[in-house]
Amino acid sequence: MPSPLSPFIITSEHELRTHVQNWRAKDETIGFVPTMGALHTGHLSLIHKAKQHASKIVTSIYINPTQFTEGEDLSTYPRSETKDAELLHNAGCDLIYIPDGSLYGPDHATSLHVGGAALGLETDYRPHFFGGVALIVTKLLNRVQPDIAVFGEKDYQQLLTIRRITSDLDIPVEIYGAPIIREDDGLAMSSRNRYFDEDARAIAGQLNLIMRTCAKTISETGEIKPATETAINALLTAGFTSVDYVSVADAQTLEILPHTLGENLARLLIAATCENVRLIDNCEIKT
For the annotated catalytic residues, the residue numbers are 43
Please give the Cα distance from 97 to 136 (Å, whole number): 14
Distance (Å, whole) CA 130 – CA 112: 9
Q: Among 182, 181, 230, 239, which Cα is nearest to 210's? A: 230
Rounded Cα–Cα distance for residues 28 and 39 (Å):
26
Contacts of residue 119, defined as CB under 8 A and 6 or more positions apart, other chains included, come to: 254
| Rg value, the chain, Cα | 19
Half-sphere exposure of 137 (CA within 13 A, CB side): 27
Phi/psi zone of residue 204: left (φ > 0), alpha (ψ -120 to 50 degrees), beta? alpha
